[in-house]
């Protein structure tokens, strides 16, 4: 068995524009053509990302989309390229599964942007499972906006707040104390069993606390996702006897399959602590697979450009600290699952290419690759059987 370790890091929503099929994806009814998360942030205010840029981040942006990204102009010293997704979906499971070697073979079910959004029989079944006389919401919404608008009515009526987005999701927001956290989890589990057969990708529990005017979501979000339709990189590594460490949302995204140890936290700062500790401690031959979600959840969906920029600059320090701890023979890859351009209209993800930045193979331009090539490369590095339809770029 190889001693070589691999660290695969998804910077959630850190897209670099240029997706060839962006016109088929929408925000507020308008196509995602031209969306470019990183370039548009950098054009708003120059980014200082010395570690990621030294690997080739600025070069990857120019390769993916031809866009200028002020502040990101280093000569690449790492492995660098841009990856294009083939799965028909611009959400988290589609991106992560394809990165792990399993492009999504089906069309997800999306709920229409109408009011009501959910079919009447589903609405009735959700209320029955909740033990309430109805539901609130039943529309496309942003999660922070809808609890501000409907939170008081939720407390008054006890009805769960159910909403969706341009993603294949059904989200349920409820007050942790008034409705109850365990009750919300049980409801989401029951609703997941109703909608997974329809190919709705996820049911998401969105607990919140507080009183009218100050409702706030808590870190107790939980995702109930459809299982990947084929063995992923995690499954292959685990079956080969490797230790697999999942950091953050990776457990939920892969239905907890192929994971030896799950490391969660209340924030990305907690996840960074796990990552840096594992860089010191993870066994030879192991795979560390991390998702850093706050770019997406706190800044992308909220269209907060400055917050996103600061989160990137914080994460660049984490990336530098990680690279300082890796050992000769290790591979680290930094990539993303989709875009979420905070300068764009709407509040949904944006269809984009993503960066592929690697530490451990010297300076190497890999050009345009596919998401699934990442799985093939990590598998090759770890000496595992080929993972999925991609080709190794190593
Ligand atoms: O607005 P919030 O509730 O954060 O929802 C966002 O989070 C969901 C899952 O990532 C996406 O589908 C998007 O709509
Ligand atoms: Mn995501
Ligand atoms: Mn998201």
- Cα of 223 vs centre of ligand 1, distance in Å, is 11
Regarding an ipTM greater than 0.90, the answer is yes
- Cα of 13 vs centre of ligand 1, distance in Å, is 12
The angle at the Cα of 304, spanning 348 to 355, to the nearest 5 degrees, equals 65
Give the position, in ligand 1's atom list, of the atom nearest the Cα of 297. 4
Backbone angles phi, psi at 79, to 5 degrees: -85, 130
Backbone angles phi, psi at 47, to 5 degrees: -100, 140
Q: pTM, whole model, 2 decimals?
A: 0.93
Would the annotation count 296 as a binding residue?
Answer: yes
The pLDDT tens digits of the residues spanning 88-143 come to 999 999 999 999 999 998 999 999 999 999 999 999 999 999 999 999 999 999 99
Is the per-residue pLDDT at 2 higher than 90? Answer: no
The pLDDT tens digits of the residues spanning 185-236 come to 999 999 999 999 999 999 999 999 999 999 999 999 999 999 999 999 999 9
Would the annotation count 338 as a binding residue?
Answer: yes
- Cα of 142 vs centre of ligand 1, distance in Å, is 7
Distances (CA, A) of 282 to 62, 209, 246, 291, 327: 35, 37, 12, 17, 11
Residue 292's nearest CA partner among 9, 7, 8 is 9
Residue 220's nearest CA partner among 272, 260, 183, 258 is 183
Cβ-contact 348, 321 below 8 angstroms = no
Per-residue DSSP letter, 121: H
> In this structure, what token pair is assigned to residue 189?
């589990």
Rounded to whole angstroms, how far apart are CA atoms 243 and 229?
22
Cβ-contact 383, 1 below 8 angstroms = yes
> In this structure, what token pair is assigned to residue 71?
């502040």
Burial of 345 from C-beta contacts in 10 A (0-12 / 13-18 / 19+):
middle
Rounded to whole angstroms, how far apart are CA atoms 14 and 315?
12
């Amino acid at each position: 068995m190889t001693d070589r370790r691999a660290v695969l890091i998804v910077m959630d929503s850190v897209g670099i524009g240029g997706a060839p099929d962006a016109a088929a994806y929408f925000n507020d009814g308008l196509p995602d053509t031209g969306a470019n998360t990183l370039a548009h942030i950098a054009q708003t205010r120059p980014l200082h990302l010395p570690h990621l840029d030294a690997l080739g981040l600025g070069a990857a942006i120019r390769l993916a989309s031809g866009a200028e990204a002020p502040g990101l102009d280093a000569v690449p010293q790492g492995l660098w390229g841009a990856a294009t997704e083939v799965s028909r979906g611009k959400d988290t499971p589609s991106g992560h599964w394809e990165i792990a070697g399993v492009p999504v073979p089906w069309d997800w079910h999306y709920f229409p942007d109408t009011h009501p959004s959910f079919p009447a029989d589903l609405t009735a079944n959700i209320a029955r499972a909740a033990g309430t006389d109805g539901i609130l919401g039943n529309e496309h919404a942003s999660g922070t906006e809808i609890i501000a608008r409907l939170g008081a009515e939720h407390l008054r009526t006890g009805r769960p707040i159910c909403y969706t987005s341009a993603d294949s999701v059904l989200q349920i927001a409820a007050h942790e104390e008034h409705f109850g956290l365990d009750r919300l989890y049980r409801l989401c589990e029951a609703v997941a069993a109703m909608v997974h057969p329809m190919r709705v990708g996820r049911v998401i529990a969105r607990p919140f606390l507080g009183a009218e005017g100050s409702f706030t979501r808590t870190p107790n979000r939980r995702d109930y996702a459809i299982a990947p339709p084929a063995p992923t990189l995690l499954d292959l590594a685990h079956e080969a006897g490797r230790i697999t460490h999942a950091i953050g949302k990776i457990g939920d995204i892969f239905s907890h399959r192929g994971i030896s140890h799950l490391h969660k936290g209340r924030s990305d700062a907690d996840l960074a602590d796990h990552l840096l500790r594992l860089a010191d401690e993870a066994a030879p031959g192991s795979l560390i697979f991390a998702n850093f979600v706050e770019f997406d959840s706190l800044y992308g969906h909220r269209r907060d450009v400055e917050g996103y920029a600061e989160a990137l600059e914080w994460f660049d320090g984490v990336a530098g600290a990680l690279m300082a701890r890796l050992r000769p023979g290790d591979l680290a890859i930094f990539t993303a699952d989709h875009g979420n351009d905070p300068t764009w209209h709407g509040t949904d993800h944006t269809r984009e290419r993503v960066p592929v930045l690697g530490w451990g193979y010297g300076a190497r331009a890999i050009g345009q690759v596919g998401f699934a090539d990442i799985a093939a490369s990590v598998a090759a590095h770890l000496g595992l059987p080929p993972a999925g339809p991609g080709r190794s770029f190593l």
